[in-house]
Amino acid sequence: MHSSFAPMLQTQSLTVAIGDKVICRDLNLTIQPGECWGVLGQNGAGKTTLLRTLAGLHAPQSGTVSWQGEPLPIHTRRDLAQNIGVLLQSENGEFWGSVLEYVLLGRFPHRTTLFGFNADDEAIAQQALVAVELVDWAQRPLNTLSGGERQRAAIAQTLAQQAQCYLLDEPLQHLDLRHQAQAMRVFSQLQQQGRCLLMVLHDTLWVQRSCNRLLLHFADGQVRHGLVQDLFTLENLEALYQCRLRELSVEGERCFVPRT
């Protein structure tokens, strides 16, 4: 039986590798309900692979990932899919159906019949489309949407999953400024509902606005994590990105830009 005090997602001595490249080593991470984690790191550092490992989509070299106190392999795939929502950067293959049909795929783990989706599933999918401002596009073929619209549809599909934990790999890619803000408001609402989120970001502004925990993923496999206010420093970000940065303050918010 799960303890009500168990963390949602936890790693113990987790080492992740792709071939000879070590992505992270001996990572001990605890993600609690209501936390929003930002993940920062250079391109190619292995952030996507780490996220896939946390979701059970990539086998670790050693160590364990646990969901609510039990290792991932103990859980059925259906149970994990009902509780852990994953938004990846890209998908294999092309989807030829409508936007609504695409979003409904997020309800697949919750289906109660072998004969398709019921009215509740469709209502949840419609609500997800409203949340990302795509409800008027519901009947359009997905493959006619722009890159930003498809990204919003992918977010809607993940929302339709109604998970307890969300692992989001660059959820703001392709989005304009308005829809970045809109997506982050939706994620904030999930956090307020007690869901936990871990999202790979590239804009440090959203980290300080929306995250209370931070994971710095260095290119050599080193990982540091803790409170945003402790790790979000010029020194740490320069070491992380291996470039000199300039720190600016705009209406009380700290911005970091590369020095030319």
Q: What tens-digit pLDDT sequence spans the chain (260 residues)? A: 344 456 799 999 999 999 889 999 999 999 999 999 999 999 999 999 999 999 999 999 999 999 999 999 999 999 999 999 999 988 766 888 999 999 999 999 988 777 778 899 999 999 999 999 999 999 999 999 999 999 999 999 999 999 999 999 999 999 999 999 999 999 999 999 999 999 999 999 999 999 999 999 999 999 999 999 999 999 999 999 999 999 998 888 888 999 97
pLDDT digits (tens, 9 = 90+) for 47-61: 999 999 999 999 999
pLDDT digits (tens, 9 = 90+) for 62-86: 999 999 999 999 999 999 999 999 9
Scan for tokens 């619209």, then name that residue: 149
* Helix, coil or strand: residue 71: strand
Q: Where in 161-219 does DSSP place strands (E)?
A: 165-169, 196-200, 213-217
- The torsion angles phi and psi of 39, rounded to 5 degrees, stand at -115, 125
Q: How many CB atoms lie within 10 A of CB 34?
A: 15
Q: Give alpha helix (H) positions in 193-260.
A: 204-210, 228-231, 234-241
The first and second tokens of residue 13, run together, are 């001595």
49: closest CA among 244, 223, 240? Answer: 223
pTM comes to: 0.94
Rounded to whole angstroms, the Cα distance separating 165 from 67 reads: 10
In sequence order, the β-bridge partners of residue 216 are 40, 224
DSSP 8-state class, residue 141:
B
Tell me the CATH class for 9-258: alpha beta
Rounded to whole angstroms, the Cα distance separating 54 from 87 reads: 12
- Give the strand pairing for 21-31 and 9-18: antiparallel
Q: 15: Cβ–Cβ under 8 A, 6 or more apart, which residues?
A: 22, 24, 25, 26, 27, 60, 61, 62, 63
The residue type found at 105 is: L
215: closest CA among 32, 66, 27? Answer: 27
pLDDT digits (tens, 9 = 90+) for 113-146: 777 788 999 999 999 999 999 999 999 999 999 9
- Give the strand pairing for 62-67 and 165-169: unpaired
Q: What share of the chain is helix, strand, coil (3-state, %, to 5)?
A: 40, 30, 35
